[in-house]
Amino acid sequence: MTESDPYPPDSNPNSSENFRSGFVAIIGAPNVGKSTLLNALLGEKVAITTPKPQTTRRQIRGILTGDNFQIVFVDTPGIHESKHLLNKVIVESALNALKDVDIVLFVVDVTSRKRGQEFAILDILKEVGAPVILVLNKVDRIPKTELLPIIDSFKELFPFEAIIPISAKYMSGIDRVLDEILSLLPRGPQYYDRSTTSDQRLEDMVAELIREKIFLLAEQEVPYSTAVEVEDIEEVPEKNLLRIRAVIYVERPSQKGIIIGKGGKFIKKVGKLTREELERALNKKVFLDLWVKVLKDWSKDERALKRLGLSS
């Protein structure tokens, strides 16, 4: 996949003449495995993943840099129809990711029996102009005999640059996706330092991890009624410690009780799982102070969405 550096020591591999780079949007319906694919492509976790649809609410960039290339992946929320304000906002975020991208990865869940959403997305992609790679995910869940008819059905609808079956969960087919991207990548500059794998702020990373744990632990509609805001991060260098204060917002008092849990059990579990993952990722001790507050109907309030960074 990565190519050996063909440039002599005095040359500049980051020049537009010698270096290839570009932006690759990862697009698809909800819960098709876009974030799992991003993490697999990068070889590390930069996007939260849960079994619940519509986990991703905002664009997340992941950066993969090789000897003479840099790929900036843009993970996006699932595209779907909805009258709910929050869902409209997150879909708009996904569509905005298609502007000025060099390549599109269109991810489809092969186990889905509802193709309407995918076909509607294809209509959008016809207007984009960038080359599109169809990534058929979760092939580990179906018999091989079912795969060919799915490939044929999509092949008839759109001139894909390539159609690649994968299992993002089990890292199958990931190398082929990267090879195809590299074959299409235009010449361009290095946008990020080689050591950078995501442009997320620490505050955003913490908020997303907290929200991931809520999605994994809570049931029914409660996770969708939560938003997280990191109010303060204080670094204590002499103790190799981060002190973090964050607020979990819910829409109704009854949801506040669920998130806190009996005797504070639920929020303690969320805090413990988040803290442990942060300590592994940052190699620092973390003190995480979590609060739960009611922000009535925040998902239907444009001002609240802007305040929480979910709308511009």
* 255 has pLDDT over 60: yes
How far is Cα 263 from Cα 251, in angstroms, rounded to an integer? Answer: 21
Average confidence (pLDDT) over 203-232: 94
How far is Cα 94 from Cα 59, in angstroms, rounded to an integer? Answer: 7
* 12 has pLDDT over 70: no
Neighbouring CB atoms inside 10 A of 42's CB total 17
* 15 has pLDDT over 70: no
Q: Map residue 250 onto helix, strand or coil.
A: strand
How far is Cα 101 from Cα 99, in angstroms, rounded to an integer? Answer: 6
**Cα dihedral value 17, 61, 133, 57, nearest 10:** -160
The two three-digit tokens of residue 134, written as one number? 């169809």
104 alpha-carbon distance from chain centroid? 14
Q: What value does the mean pLDDT of the chain take?
A: 91
pLDDT value of position 115? 83
pLDDT value of position 6? 38
* Per-residue model confidence as pLDDT tens digits over 181-213: 999 999 999 999 999 999 999 999 999 999 999
pLDDT value of position 114? 76
Q: Where in the sequence of the chain do the CATH 3.40.50.300 domains occur? A: 20-184
In terms of pLDDT, which residue wins out, 6 or 117? Answer: 117
How far is Cα 126 from Cα 104, in angstroms, rounded to an integer? Answer: 11
pLDDT value of position 141? 96
Closest C-alpha among 148, 150, 176 to residue 164:
176
- CATH no. of 202-307: 3.30.300.20
* Per-residue model confidence as pLDDT tens digits over 107-137: 999 999 878 888 889 999 998 989 999 999 9
Residue at 96: amino acid letter:
N
In terms of pLDDT, which residue wins out, 83 or 13? Answer: 83
pLDDT value of position 139? 97
* 253 has pLDDT over 70: yes
Average confidence (pLDDT) over 237-253: 97
How far is Cα 213 from Cα 272, in angstroms, rounded to an integer? Answer: 10
Q: Where in the sequence of the chain do the CATH 3.30.300.20 domains occur? A: 202-307
Neighbouring CB atoms inside 10 A of 246's CB total 21
pLDDT value of position 16? 52
What pTM was estimated for this model as a whole?
0.89
Give 2's pLDDT tier (boundaries 50, 70, 90).
Answer: very low
How far is Cα 155 from Cα 159, in angstroms, rounded to an integer? Answer: 7
Alpha carbon separation from 174 to 102, 106, 164 (Å, rounded): 19, 14, 9
* 99 has pLDDT over 50: yes
Architecture per CATH, domain 20-184, reads as 3-Layer(aba) Sandwich (3.40)
* 279 has pLDDT over 80: yes
| Region for residue 297 given its phi and psi (left: phi exceeds 0; alpha: psi -120 to 50; beta: otherwise) | left
